[in-house]
Amino acid sequence: MSKTLISLILICLYIPISIAQTRSVIELDKGWKFQKGENSQAYQKDFNDAKWQDITVPHDWAIYGPFDKEIDKQTVAIEQNGEKVATEKTGRTGALPYVGTAWYRNEFTLPQYKLGQKVLIAFEGAMSEPKVFLNGKKVGEWAYGYSYFYFDITDDFIANQTNVLAVELSNLGSSSRWYPGAGLYRKVQLIVKNEQSIHHWGTTITTPVISKEMAKVNIKTKVTGKNLNVVTYILNAHKDTVATNKTDAIFGNEFEQNIAVVHPKLWSPERPYLYTAISQLYEGKTLKDEIETRFGIREIKYEANKGFSLNGKVRKFKGVCLHHDLGPLGTAVNKSALRRQLQILKDMGVDAIRSSHNMPSIEQLELCDEMGLMFLAESFDEWAKPKVENGYNRFFEAYAEKDVVNLIHATRNHPSIIMWSAGNEVPDQWGSEGVKRAKWLQDIFHREDPTRPVTVGMDQVQSVMENGFGALLDIPGLNYRLPLYEEAYEKFPQGFILGSETASTVSSRGIYKFPVVQAKMKQYDDFQSSSYDLEACSWSNIPDLDFELQDDKPWVIGEFVWTGFDYLGEPTPYDDQWPSRSSYFGICDLAGIPKDRYYLYRSRWNTEDETLHILPHWNWKGREGEITPVFVYTNYDSAELFVNGKSMGIQKKNKTTPQNRYRLMWMDVTYEPGTLKVVAFDKNGNPVAEKEIHTAEKPYKIVLDADRKTLKSNGKDLAFITVSVVDKNGIPCPTATNQLNFKVKGNGFYKAAANGDATSLELFHLPTMKLFSGKLVVIVSSKEEAGTIKLSVRGKGLKSGTIELKSTD
């Protein structure tokens, strides 16, 4: 018998067996009791929690409000913004009641458990400073609210009985620069497995050698036990087995396998191909453990004077920064909400995300793997020197290494991650101690993951050029400071610069201010910013200046724009004004509705689809005869503008100013009601596309448009319905501010609403809200029973709108 045939027979003996037979993973999402407030007895097993609130996890207790300017009011000068004098910041952390202590309690039994097995409890994020109790005994604690962590509770778990889990969370005031959320806002899981088993986060998959013919997949598996062997199957996207390997050679507590995948399909944003590794741990022929790990085969390189390449092709990051909150949903993780965010960004042409300024959710990484978005995974906003009094600086010395290790171990197999960030604008950029901390952290990242480089978002560029901080990093990341890019490139040895945080342009969707001029820290009486996209902060700039650097400097390897979506807190330039409780930086507003700036980026980044967008709207009663400039964002080089059929002339992109290079602008248009039309031309001067906007009459009818019509009946799936009003001719009313009321019937329920107005104090979870610039978004959730869901929206004097959705098993 040939050796090949013997090998095939041996492989066939190890057919994959269901994970449920070797380990159980139970998500603790239901059955939770919640109560805000200190309670010295709540950890006890027999504590009476009957009157506590019934909730599901993930959960954010503070998102339900109310908004209050007195909540976490901070009197501070924000150094990284260049402020010299302390002022009262009323909306810096969103003006939501996140400060305080709260308790979560749950009961569970584990019929899956067998004597001799191990039981772990794993948290993917708990805001903040969690203390975990089981059956009245403290089993562990953590500090960082964004960190993943787990505890072995085998010795404290009671088999065949009800076990009582209690979690205490505490949020201090002055602990954040933005809305951090509050509660068990990410998944909680129980893991039951054999004593002889694969470690939690114990699998490491890399692809060190890749060619068209073959890829070398290196798999390291850390285990507990003796006389073991491991069998690994690699499955393609169709779940067909494409490679297998068996080994009993163990080094310490780790197996290492090198497995050849023939004719590999590579992961990229354009083709996010994913494989699955099934790792089976045996004692002899007895299966002891089995896990599945999804991964991608891809090659990343960062080279001096060449930049970043993926799978051998040089490219620049078209990235955005994202905070962790989901607007009206708060920080509670929801996969369908994350998916919608990423779909909107993909359509804009985004190919990379930076988690700012903290560790991402596992769900976000899974979606980036699937949808094709590269990821810059960030760790901290503070090191040892504080930005806020009660920030991470309190925990840095004791927890920083543990938090970095957990970040890497929990996420390293995601192909979307192409870089780590050890920090953002840390005050430690000054002085020799900060340089030592930067090296210490980078060495930890390198030790735990030698395959990816490390950056820090640096804003003190003069300092880091002089003290060696910027030179020691794998990737020098510059936050703003565009005039220093050239000098930094000359002084730093890496041979390239990353725009780790760019632009910070501010705007309010559908709001336009006159005269149309560039401005910094501009404030208006209505606490809004102009959507002509010419206003920025004292430290930041408008998008066109970054575009020039990306286009003209081959050593600038891309940018991460601040931010893809508005977020709760940091309402610059109104962070010392009330009411103002969320950001203006977003390319999309807090409801996820694109602002005008979305189309400026789309015209550059989405190279597959046509972009032709006109601003402002054309409803300007009282401005008749006044100068009302018109901008067009398009991927075409030239266009002609018409007002009521009269040509305003042809504009062509040119390099006279950065704005002329990337926008078509008619600065002398006189407003008159009617029709605004633009005709775009190809490079040969032929008309190829046109678009019109019209002056609307008074609001007449409510219109509903859902991002999806079919939901899963799991009680978690969401539909986002954009609500707008039109006049009797069907023309959108861009200035409407009608108060609307929402009602959901059938197999779904009303979840939340948002209108994108940073000054609105209406609560998201109540079924009523005003339109802002003619639009808002209603979020509807499925129930756990399949059927029809009907949303009705009504407003005084308006023809109501209804829409039907379906939820299916």
Record the tokens describing residue 705, joined without a space: 């448009």
Residue 548, SS3 per DSSP: helix
Distance (Å, whole) CA 232 – CA 245: 5
Record the tokens describing residue 597, joined without a space: 């700036």
Give bridge partners of residue 91 from the DSSP assignment: none
Running DSSP on this structure, what letter comes out for residue 588?
B
Record the tokens describing residue 130, joined without a space: 């969690």
Axis crossing angle, helix 432-448 with helix 396-411, rounded to the nearest 10: 30
- Answer whether the bond into residue 573 is a cis peptide, omega within 30°: yes
What string of H, E and C letters represents the secondary structure of 285-311?
CEEEEEEEEEECCCCEEEECCCEEEEC
How many Cα atoms sit within 13 Å of 156 on the Cβ side? 17
Question: Do the Cβ atoms of 476 and 470 come closer than 8 Å?
Answer: yes
Distance (Å, whole) CA 417 – CA 396: 24
How many Cα atoms sit within 13 Å of 661 on the Cβ side? 14
Give bridge partners of residue 805 from the DSSP assignment: 789
- Looking at this protein, which amino acid is placed at residue 394? R
Residue 774, SS3 per DSSP: coil
Q: For the beta carbon of residue 632, count every other beta carbon within 10 angstroms.
A: 25
- Within 8 A by CB and 6+ apart from 670, the residues are 625, 626, 627, 628, 643
Q: For the beta carbon of residue 48, count every other beta carbon within 10 angstroms.
A: 9
290 is an active site residue: no
Running DSSP on this structure, what letter comes out for residue 444?
H
Distance (Å, whole) CA 670 – CA 620: 11
Going by their DSSP bridges, the two strands 630-634 and 664-666 should be labelled as antiparallel
Distance (Å, whole) CA 196 – CA 212: 38
Q: Which of 501, 535, 570, 640 is catalytic?
A: 501
User: Where does 79-183 show beta strands of DSSP type E?
Assistant: 87-89, 100-108, 118-123, 131-134, 137-141, 149-152, 163-171
- Within 8 A by CB and 6+ apart from 689, the residues are 610, 612, 634, 636, 679, 680
425 is an active site residue: yes
Question: Do the Cβ atoms of 466 and 446 come closer than 8 Å?
Answer: no
Distance (Å, whole) CA 145 – CA 124: 9
User: Where does 671-738 show beta strands of DSSP type E?
Assistant: 675-681, 687-694, 701-706, 710-712, 718-726
Short-list 25, 333, 40, 331, CA closest to 166: 40
Q: Which of 129, 382, 425, 535 is catalytic?
A: 425
Cα Rg, the chain, nearest whole Å: 28
- Within 8 A by CB and 6+ apart from 340, the residues are 592, 707, 718, 720
Short-list 571, 496, 475, CA closest to 81: 571
First to last CA, the chain: 50
**Is residue 273 classed exposed, middle or buried when 0-12, 13-18 and 19+ CB atoms within 10 A define those classes?**
middle
Record the tokens describing residue 500, joined without a space: 């780790």
- Within 8 A by CB and 6+ apart from 204, the residues are 219, 220, 221, 412, 413
Distance (Å, whole) CA 320 – CA 657: 24
Q: Tell me the catalytic residues.
A: 425, 501
